[in-house]
Amino acid sequence: MVDHEHDGTPVLITDAALSYEEQHAARKRKYAIMMGARIPCLLLAMVFYQTWWLALAFIALSVPLPWMAVLVANDRPPRKAEKANRYVKEHRALEAKAHQVIEG
């Protein structure tokens, strides 16, 4: 993730996260598509009931779809890792050359 806060460049709107409503709508759409795919699988299993292995394959494909649809629908995008802006004090170092010492 690019940190635009410190380099002075403006933040692009594409860098912004989707709103909660947009995320929720996208998850609902994915859920509906996955659950809608289950109906054709069951219908195809009924059509091919005489070919038992093909009907069984369609049924086996339709069984995990509700579970996967719920997982996809409940999966929210990860939160952005925000870095705290902390003041870092520069450490001063002693010069490497020899210094004159006055003894008194």
CB 35 within 8 A of CB 69: yes
Q: Which 8-state DSSP code applies to residue 57?
A: H
User: Which tens digit of pLDDT belongs to each residue from 49-99?
Assistant: 999 999 999 999 999 999 999 998 888 777 766 666 666 777 776 667 777
Cα–Cα distance between 68 and 63 in angstroms, integer?
10
User: Which tens digit of pLDDT belongs to each residue from 5-50?
Assistant: 556 666 556 666 778 888 889 889 999 999 999 999 999 999 999 9
Quote the pTM value.
0.56
Cα–Cα distance between 37 and 32 in angstroms, integer?
8
Q: Which amino acid is at 91?
A: H
Continuous H helices in the chain: 4-7, 20-47, 52-62, 65-74
